[in-house]
Structure 1
Amino acid sequence: MLLREGSNFLEMIATERIPEHLPAPGDTRFEIRVQSFGFLGQGWTWIDAVSLSSFVAQLHELEPQRQGSAEVSSMSPDQFWLKIFSTNRLGQMAVIGRLSQVSPLGHDLRCNHLLEFGFPFDPVMLPSIVKNFERVSSGVLMQG
């Protein structure tokens, strides 16, 4: 899924999914790239199947009226959070979120790399966003 507005973008690619015969079936790994007003970050995260299904249901409610919001977050606390929402009664849309990664620096030292992002986007993109996440939730891995 690629959401782009000018030089700002959010790209989420589902790269792995836990098969049905294993514990936690449907949990999905995403590669994520973000650029927001000149700030750029990339990383990966896992989103559990229940959260992903809930996000798709929220997107279905958001799409027809373009009012409200849809939110999803990663299984690891504070690693990834995403919210797609209407900014006004006219149905203009925006996305906000957070992507982080903790890196070891040495003995008992760690650095938390963090990018908080947000930008408006054309509401015409909303149906394709819904379709992309529907496909992932049903087991199809994405290609950007």
Structure 2
Amino acid sequence: MSVLKFDNSGSYFEMSVAIADDPLVQNCGDAYITIDALSDGFKGHNDLWVLGEAFSAFCAALISLEHSLKGEATLESISPNELKLRIFSVNNRGHLAVEGSTGYWSQSQEGSFWHSVSFGFSFEPQQLTKAISAPWMRIKD
């Protein structure tokens, strides 16, 4: 898995991606994603699936954002609320930020409990330039 990473002042967001590429499986083309985030002391981890079409659109939007430093790239998981991610321009001087949330239901004998973390911070545009060099950024529909 290759990693997309943004960080600033001790906060970080990491997203590892593996594309399902076996044509014999139903989820061929979908992205298996691992999220690790630490934002102002709050930390979270999650593993989840994203539809291939949504992931391709996210990659295209990231490339566009890197070139223009305007707009945003958003991504959501297949399962509701497991991932909501937004990478966006915060002003007309090229400053960027990442924000989102990730969570999952934890089951036990006593019941089920929702575990989640929200994150958000700004980062240097050079980090996006490095991020779009990941091999999965060139995935086509």
Structure 2 length normalisation: TM-score?
0.88
Distance 1:137 1:80 in 2: 22
1:64–1:15 distance in 2 versus 1, CA, 3 Å: closer
Number of the residue aligned with 2:139: 138
Is it true that 1:71 corresponds to 2:69 in the alignment? no
1:75–1:29 distance in 2 versus 1, CA, 3 Å: same
Number of the residue aligned with 1:46: 49
Distance 1:7 1:63 in 2: 23
Distance 1:65 1:116 in 2: 27
Deviations 1:51-99 (A, max 9, x none): 1100011112211120110001111011111100000111100000111
Is it true that 1:57 corresponds to 2:60 in the alignment? yes
1:136–1:92 distance in 2 versus 1, CA, 3 Å: closer
Structure 1 length normalisation: TM-score?
0.86
Structure 1 gaps, min length 5: 140-144
- Matched letter for residue 75 of structure 2: V
How many residues align? The count is 137
Runs of 4+ in 1 over 6 A off after TM superposition: none
Structure 2 gaps, min length 5: none
Cα deviation, residue 20, structure 1: 2.6
Cα deviation, residue 18, structure 1: 4.4
- Matched letter for residue 132 of structure 2: V
Cα deviation, residue 106, structure 1: 2.2
Q: CA RMSD in A?
A: 1.8
Is it true that 1:14 corresponds to 2:4 in the alignment? no
1:78–1:14 distance in 2 versus 1, CA, 3 Å: same
Of 84, 96, 100, the residue aligned with 1:97 is 100
1:68–1:113 distance in 2 versus 1, CA, 3 Å: same
